Amino acid sequence: MVNVLQLIAPVALGGAENVLLSINRLIDKSHFNIFFCNFINPKRTRNPFVKKLHEVECDVSIIYLDRPRLDFIYVLRLARIIRSKRIDIIHSHGYMPDFFGLIASKITRRPIVSTVHGWTSSTKAIRTYEHFQKKLLRYFDIVIPVSQKISDELIKNGINPFKLRKLNNIVTFEDLTGDNVATDLNQTYITGPHTQIIGVIGRLSKEKGHIFLLQALAKIKNDFPDIKLLIIGDGDQHSKLVQFVKAHKLEHQVHFCGFQNDVSQFYRLIDIFVLPSLTEGIPLVLLEAMYFNKPIVATDVGGVPELIKNGYNGKLVPPGNPSALADNIAAILRDKLYGQTLGKAAHQSLISKNNPSWWINEIQDTYLLAYLKSVKA
């Protein structure tokens, strides 16, 4: 039996967190035990990811970040967990877990794997941390980029290509029932027979580009008086986005839905899915929208063009360009048949490529490769 420690610093129940939940659910439990260690800000103890882990009865350890950000005590705490749980492989996700995980792996002589989900570059401090992370990844046993663009960036930063195992994210359909209360949602958001709904799902942070979608909405609201925008998620940009909505008199069109444990019900409701991000890896929300046959308008960033071919199964626009967002959203709003064609093509392209069994086999092979390397060493 191989014991694997998943190491992450979760803020919300987002893409990386859902990847970990998929690993835990799909992995062969007769050969692998999955443990979790979370770096948590003690001021944010009500963490939705930790709550979800407890709901599915995972073995969860918490390291509270109650000291300066890069304090060595966190490494010692992590090393203690690795030894007490008899961990064989460390699998880290994100710049902070990569940093602490790498040092702990050297202390405990365990192999370490990192999945690179992408970089946010949202602040100067985070850009510095992410730059440092790219250099640290040279010393990992195996690195898993989730898109070709991330893989290319890692090679550019001096990481040995033979250490890379590119593995796109997948979506597991059993989580996407969508058979919740669509009728109740219609009543909640006061939709009518002529209402067309735009949806965006994700953390309300600067790199997700919500402000550009609101700017696009302001451009087309007079041409489409019945449209509504549902913003599903929460984050530090919430107050700024609310201010924009009020300043541009968009209160009738925009609904802030907050964080939702189950977003499937919203996919049933929306007519167009928009991903206005400035940076992405392989976003799970995009895969989910494809599953639900939604016409998609997304920015041409990260791994998005590996999923969306412009004009075939969605529309790609430059990042940070509200005019391009507005034009493409308006084109789909005017031609429902065109939108349906894009949505069906998105669904078919997802089904042809999305293979959870193959994906988890690749994860398991990666763990075995790392484990065998450590045994030989």
Q: What is the DSSP string of 245-302?
A: HHHTT-TTTEEEEE--S--HHHHHH-SEEEE--SS-SS-HHHHHHHHTT--EEEES-T
Q: Which pLDDT belongs to residue 375? A: 63
What letter does residue 60 receive in the DSSP assignment?
Answer: E
Bridge partner list, 274: 297
| Dist. CA 341–CA 295, nearest whole Å | 8
| Dist. CA 366–CA 377, nearest whole Å | 17
Long-range contacts of 172-175 (CB under 8 A, 24+ apart): 172/22, 172/25, 172/26, 172/356, 173/291, 175/264
Q: Which pLDDT belongs to residue 123? A: 77
pLDDT tens, N- to C-terminus, the chain (377 residues) = 999 999 999 988 888 999 999 999 999 999 999 999 999 988 877 888 999 999 999 999 999 999 887 789 999 999 999 999 999 999 999 999 999 999 999 999 999 999 999 888 777 888 888 888 999 999 999 999 999 999 999 999 999 999 999 999 998 876 665 554 455 666 666 666 778 999 999 999 999 999 999 999 999 999 999 999 999 999 999 999 999 999 999 999 999 999 887 888 899 889 999 999 999 989 999 999 999 999 999 999 999 999 999 999 999 999 999 999 999 999 999 999 999 999 999 999 999 988 999 999 999 999 999 988 766 55
Amino acid, single-letter form, for residue 220: I
Q: Which SS3 state, helix, strand or coil, does residue 258 take? A: strand
Q: Which SS3 state, helix, strand or coil, does residue 294 take? A: coil
